[in-house]
Structure 1
Amino acid sequence: MKPKVIVYKKIDTTVLAYLSENCEVTYFETLDSQSLPSFYQELKNATGIIGSGLKVDAKLLDLAPQLKVISNISVGYDNLDMPEISKRNIMATNTPEVLNDSVADTIFGLLLATARRMPELNQLVKSGGWTAQVGEGLYGVDVHHKKLGIIGMGGIGSAIAKRAHFGFDMPILYHNRSRNTEAEQTFQATYYSLEELCQQADFICLMTPLTPNTVKLIGEKEFKLMKKTAIFVNGSRGATVDEDALVHALQNGEILAAGLDVFAQEPVSPDHPLLGMDNVVTLPHIGSATHETRLKMANLAAESLVIGLQGKMPQTLINQEVFAEVQ
């Protein structure tokens, strides 16, 4: 008998076909007020679930007593209550590495767009406001040869450093839980404390995972340490930044500008003060959102789910200690 699996996210038909070959699949393109009751009902007999964004906590797990594998189509897994999942000997997987380059492209593009004020100037042209030579009031700032500070030198942070070092001759400063000797050797990156990085960098990219230790990692103290000419870019999670402190820093000229792909509440409220600032460039959390990369992520997640349900250890298993327990 095939294991019963629930898909709770729209995925490519090829991925769905692969899952259907190996599992009995119940498919929800999205979870909303109409589909949630059916989803909860299906959880009773599910041995695996696959999707993204769903909060998986004790309350949900109580509805799924047969669950063996959770496959998260994302590199981040702050939506998963890992202690509770591990306590129940359920394997959880994510999709690291395959999205590194796509996210790095997005974040570096956001950095460039913010520095050179591209969205603002694009709107100027399209609205008919370009009636004369652009004056100093609309100038941006150079990116090349400026100091780039990366907070979180993991796979994505390293991919950003690669673009900055080889493409823009930017000195790389970084802060991480541990030293990244490969980044130091390959990109001549220099390790700094968080405080020193904030003081020294011209551009600051926040790329840490969301954990209890990184909630509001960047706040009033850190913004006050930054240069008045600094540009802050957040490509991690919205909750890693104190948004009120960011608003204050921008309004009071403590930093020059910000580029944001993430917000504390998503979708962000249209009346959020950050959305009314010309010196803030915003994106709707689309770091990995290309057709190619999302397909790679879904394929990896599906393969991890099937492997886990076959009693084997997925390469992307987050809680590897659980595998030993279930053997």
Structure 2
Amino acid sequence: MTASGRPRVLLMHPILDPGPAILAEAAEVNAYPSNRPLDQQSIREAAEGCFGIVSHLKDPIGPVVLSTPGLKCVSNVAVGFDNIDIPTATSNRVMVTNTPGVLDESTADFAFALLIAAARRVVQADTYTRQGNYKGWEIDLMLGTDVHDATLGIVGIGRIGRGVARRAKGFNMRVLYSDTNPLVPEMEQQLGATHVDLSRLLAESDFISVHVPLTKETHHLISTAQFAHMKPNAILVNTSRGPVVDEAALVEALKAHRIAGAGLDVYEREPAVHPGLIALHNVVLAPHIASATTRTRSEMSAMAARNMATAVRGGKPPNLLNPDVRK
């Protein structure tokens, strides 16, 4: 609380308009110093006296931070929240919010972009051309894989997975999906998607796109055994969470040509990328930008700011992840 009686909010990183104005209407906003390390003790020190923290996925919000006296809310500018210890937040009576729904379509766009880029060797061809290697049309230059009429396997048929399935219809793809909560028949018919177990999906799919949250059950969901089930021409796309895919196993599968390629937007130990991936030409690498359009990131910023502003004013944030805190 400031001397004027206004609550304080710690803004870990800049957010896009209109987020800053929404926050400023509700509280005094303190920016986290850009040169300060992103460890829990440093964040706790910066958060002392603050009502809330507006965080990003790279911010570790664990027991040290969540026990800060007076802390009441953490608003994550992301749909994911594996950077936040939710049970500890709940036990400390700290509300936690996220930004669901707003980034689904942009992320589905990017998953398909990675799929096509890997299939048609777009990044490799760009590098080849820039390096002056293009000397004229050749019948076997940069041969890739057809996307149209291929089989797409979607692992996790939530909002983003369904978005990818809708895009696949435009390419006349056969769509398989695996999920512990199957779609109702009407939705399956609308999407043209068939529910199968993961083993069958891996064995029959030309492209596999992963869209599951990171949990104990999904950690290394795709690893050595799963790569062994895939077709040698298969291409894996991951825009969910890095640890869902065993990166070391992926490197070995790509090196041994057990699968043909991959497109990745997330990594097991972000921002670090497995060095084995860097050296491979058959994987497209992106820096966690699946939701990175101006409109989507602005809407995420506004939603996170509104979540915090509602909490500051004593209300229930619309995207509260741990409602037991308010009981």
Q: Give TM-score scaled by structure 2 length.
A: 0.93
How far residue 187 of structure 1 moved from its aligned partner, in angstroms, is 0.3
User: Any residues of structure 2 matched to 1:208-287 within 5 Å, and which?
Assistant: 208-269=212-273, 272-287=275-290
The answer to whether the Cα contact below 8 Å between 1:231 and 1:255 also exists between their aligned partners in 2 is yes
Q: Is 1:302 paired with 2:292? A: no
C-alpha separation in 1, matches of 2:77 and 2:43: 18
Q: Percent identity?
A: 38
2:320 — aligned with what?
317
Residue identity matched to 2:62: D
| Cα deviation digits, residues 95-119 of structure 1 (max 9, x gap) | 0110111111111001000000011
CA distance 1:210–1:191, shift in 2 (3 Å): same
C-alpha separation in 1, matches of 2:65 and 2:43: 11
Q: Is 1:49 paired with 2:49? A: no
C-alpha separation in 2, matches of 1:200 and 1:37: 48
How many residue pairs align between the two structures?
A: 321
1:73 — aligned with what?
77
Structure 2 counterpart of 1:130, from 118, 131, 134: 134
Q: Is 1:4 paired with 2:8? A: yes
- Secondary structure of the residue aligned to 2:18 is helix
How far residue 134 of structure 1 moved from its aligned partner, in angstroms, is 2.9
- Secondary structure of the residue aligned to 1:318 is coil
Instruction: Point out 4+ residue stretches in structure 1 off by more than 6 angstroms.
Output: 34-38
Q: Give TM-score scaled by structure 1 length.
A: 0.93
Q: Is 1:178 paired with 2:188? A: no
Residue identity matched to 1:41: E
C-alpha separation in 2, matches of 1:135 and 1:3: 67
The answer to whether the Cα contact below 8 Å between 2:11 and 2:29 also exists between their aligned partners in 1 is yes
- Consecutive unaligned residues in structure 1, runs of 5 or more: none
The answer to whether the Cα contact below 8 Å between 2:18 and 2:301 also exists between their aligned partners in 1 is no
- Secondary structure of the residue aligned to 1:112 is helix
- Secondary structure of the residue aligned to 1:267 is coil
- Consecutive unaligned residues in structure 2, runs of 5 or more: none
The answer to whether the Cα contact below 8 Å between 1:8 and 1:31 also exists between their aligned partners in 2 is no
C-alpha separation in 1, matches of 2:33 and 2:233: 45
2:65 — aligned with what?
60
| Cα deviation digits, residues 121-168 of structure 1 (max 9, x gap) | 111222111113233252111001111111111111111111112x11
Q: Is 1:193 paired with 2:197? A: yes
Q: Is 1:288 paired with 2:299? A: no
C-alpha separation in 1, matches of 2:115 and 2:70: 45
| Cα deviation digits, residues 19-77 of structure 1 (max 9, x gap) | 11111211226463399987533422111111202111111222x12111110000110
Give me the CA root mean square deviation: 1.9
The answer to whether the Cα contact below 8 Å between 2:17 and 2:302 also exists between their aligned partners in 1 is no
